[in-house]
Structure 1
Amino acid sequence: MLLPEEGAAAVTTQLTFGSQRHWAASLALGFDAPVGKTRMHKMDFYGPLRVQRPFYPEGDVCHVYLLHPPGGLVSGDDLSIQIECGDNAHALLTTPSAGKIYHADSCDVIQKQQVNLCIDNARCEWLPMETLVFDGAHGVLDTCINLHGNAKFIGMDVICLGRPASDLPFSQGKIEQRLSLYHDGRPLLLERQKLAGNDPLMLAMPAFQGATVSGTLVAYGTDARETLVEQLRAALPEREGSDWFSVTERLDLIIVRYLGHDSEQAQRGLRLAWQILRPEVIGLPPCPPRIWAT
């Protein structure tokens, strides 16, 4: 018969794993346009990362949905996504559902997701669903965009801390979010955000002001930036209840930000910004991925 202390230790042993836990998965996609229509000519994968078949709702533009069947990151997960777009290619990439970073269960082993986008004289739209960071998660989200030549790009990122609607705030754990964008090797945007559960930054006025959802959209590849900034500011309310939107332009980038408590509101606002920006930046009218309607 186990003593209470022995029983607790046994339960702990059953629910945790070693500090060396490491589950890697990778996906490398390549796009080109040898005869005008973009094709996905390369797909290398390892582990649970896949794509559905390419869709062509716009004719020559390749729409791709990235799939991670487990549905979220657990301790030791290490996802690597590499996207390469060659000359004249045009790819739009999204995900069918929100990403998740679950509670760490392996001696604080970090959950990692790395996304590298290399765009050469091409057009690329990176529009994933939001990422939900569960209480107790230990995660790193790292997105690096390398643009070359006449590349045009619109990218979006939304992150949600905790699950306040279920009374499960982000009170413990840690999350690091990195976003970098370069054009021909020149850094245009370098951001790094580190937060821990109950971090004072969560409530600080110059930081999150108690908000649990943040979002960023960046666009590069147009000379009509001043006009677009005015249009975006007219379309997006600076403040609506507890939600804030801001629009800025710096170093040839248009940056739209959201801060609030509603991931759906963040997606609606940033997708509206995408619809306004796409004709000028990408040169095509908006064509939302079909998966967004489900």
Structure 2
Amino acid sequence: MNQCVTALPSSLSGHRFDRERHWAAALTLTFAQRHGATRMMRARHHGPLRVQRPFYPEGRGEACHVYLLHPPGGLVSGDALTIQAHVESGAHALLTTPAANKLYKADSQGVAWTQHTQLSVEDGGALEWLPQETLAFDGSRGEQRTSIDLHGSARCLGWEVMALGRPASELPYVSGRIEQHFRLTLDGKPLWLERQPLDPLHPRFTGRWGQGGATVQATLWAVGIADAAGALEALREALPDTPRWAVTVRHGVLLLRYLGNSRNEAWAICEQAWHLLRPRWIERAAHTPRIWLT
């Protein structure tokens, strides 16, 4: 298998427990078309971020499925995760995770965590970014940044599902702050820019003009659908008839939003939308990663 897996040198910055604590982890992946198949050509890691070996459940000439592994299972104060994935022309990668990501309560000093995801796709490449949901515990403090850089006819489909608090344990999200940033560009020009603070003490969190007290939110995006208007109508006809989700197309980006109180419902809507959109997006039926079924 033509791939390079490299471990970066360890950092000394993690061995502190004051306000300057910093536990860094990074993962850099590159996918390229080689001999009729998408290969993972590069996988550099530092700290507790890894990948399993690539899978080809759809056939060797189809999407390369890769599972991103973060053994700690969540982010605590001082954690700094950086994930970079680059897809070259003609390659097709599907990235997902084996379990939900957890954002734990900040320490007594309120030190924040950070999670930065940088995705790039060259002209003629395709990327599916389909992580399992993120669970934010009460008191979590941090920043999420997702940057997607597309070029030419690059295609990208992905989602982010966020659940706040642990309602089943009667532990709602009533303190903390999570800052979310999304940036999607095509040939350097912005198509979708968004900033969203999740702060229970801000009027937006409970106001009907904002979060409205909802504990679960999700966003699905797709770029590269030839008939985006037709896809939009198909989603409106096929998905559950509920006011908790809506879909639109702006600047060639299809955006589906969910705002409610059920992470199972949010996930089900995103997965159903993916199954419906994928044949329109790349003329291939959706193939559910087996890790979702374990």
In 1, are the aligned partners of 2:101 and 2:133 still within 8 Å (CA)?
A: yes
Show the 5 A alignment for 1:50-89. 50-59=50-59, 60=61, 61-89=63-91
In 2, are the aligned partners of 1:75 and 1:106 still within 8 Å (CA)?
A: no
Show the 5 A alignment for 1:77-156. 77-105=79-107, 107-121=109-123, 122-156=125-159
| Aligned-residue offset at 1:200 | 2.1
| Aligned-residue offset at 1:281 | 1.1
> Hey, what's the Cα distance between the residues in 1 that align with 2:36 and 2:139?
48
Residue-by-residue CA offset, 1:186-214 (whole Å, 9 max, x unaligned): 10100110122343222211112221000
> Hey, what's the Cα distance between the residues in 2 that align with 1:91 and 1:106?
40
Structure 1 residue runs without a partner (length 5+): 1-15
Comparing 187-196 and 105-114, the one that deviates more: 105-114
1:226 aligns with 2:226: no
Aligned residue type for 2:251: L
Which residue of 2 is the match for residue 11 of structure 1? none
Structure-2 change in CA distance of 1:225 and 1:249 (3 Å): same
Which residue of 1 is the match for residue 26 of structure 2? 26
> Hey, what's the Cα distance between the residues in 2 that align with 1:47 and 1:21?
15
Structure 2 residue runs without a partner (length 5+): 1-15
Comparing 221-230 and 69-78, the one that deviates more: 221-230
> Hey, what's the Cα distance between the residues in 2 that align with 1:258 and 1:101?
20
SS at match of 2:74: coil
Which residue of 1 is the match for residue 11 of structure 2? none
RMSD: 1.2
Show the 5 A alignment for 1:204-223. 204-223=207-226
TM-score (ref. length: structure 1)? 0.91
> Hey, what's the Cα distance between the residues in 2 that align with 1:101 and 1:216?
18
TM-score (ref. length: structure 2)? 0.91
Rg larger in structure: 1
Structure-2 change in CA distance of 1:124 and 1:131 (3 Å): same
> Hey, what's the Cα distance between the residues in 2 that align with 1:263 and 1:124?
24
> Hey, what's the Cα distance between the residues in 1 that align with 2:101 and 2:262?
16
Which residue of 2 is the match for residue 182 of structure 1? 185
1:290 aligns with 2:293: no
Aligned residue type for 1:224: D
Which residue of 2 is the match for residue 5 of structure 1? none
> Hey, what's the Cα distance between the residues in 1 that align with 2:203 and 2:135?
20
1:171 aligns with 2:174: yes
Residue-by-residue CA offset, 1:199-232 (whole Å, 9 max, x unaligned): 3222211112221000000000022011110000
Residue-by-residue CA offset, 1:25-47 (whole Å, 9 max, x unaligned): 00000000122200001000000
Fraction of identical pairs, as percent: 50
